[in-house]
Amino acid sequence: MACPILGPKCSAYYMIISVWGVVMLVLMGIFFYIRTPSLFEDISVDEEEWHKAKMTLDFVKSKYEDNAVNCWIAAGLYAILFVFSFIQQRMNARQTYETS
């Protein structure tokens, strides 16, 4: 039988944080994907890169889409953390049940 890596409180904490991370990052990814104007300052546009692309709208659209994909990748990582924390929580619950 495997031994849990995280304690019960730590795994519960990571589960809560990861749920919030998934929700927040999925929503931010959606807002980047629909090119919300209020997020314009959060796209990484280098001035040299901006002038090389001749200041086109397609360049800005691609930067928005890059940020959306990055948010969705981070949300996926938080989902993996949730699964790991959930497994750890179950292992802790089983271990407590077996020792009592």
Confidence of residue 17 (pLDDT cuts 50, 70, 90): very high
3-class SS string, the chain: CCCCCCCHHHHHHHHHHHHHHHHHHHHHHHHHHCCCHHHHHHCCCCHHHHHHCCCCHHHHHHHHHHHHHHHHHHHHHHHHHHHHHHHHHHHHHHHHHHHC
Confidence of residue 96 (pLDDT cuts 50, 70, 90): low
Question: Which pLDDT belongs to residue 99?
Answer: 59
Residue whose token pair is 């990052």: 25
pLDDT(68) > 90: yes
* 85 close to 15: Cβ distance less than 8 angstroms: yes
Question: Which pLDDT belongs to residue 52?
Answer: 80
How confident is the model over 29-39, as pLDDT tens digits? Answer: 999 999 998 98
Vertex 31 angle, CA 25 and 71, to 5°: 30
Question: Is the pTM of the predicted complex or chain greater than 0.85?
Answer: no
* 97 close to 34: Cβ distance less than 8 angstroms: no
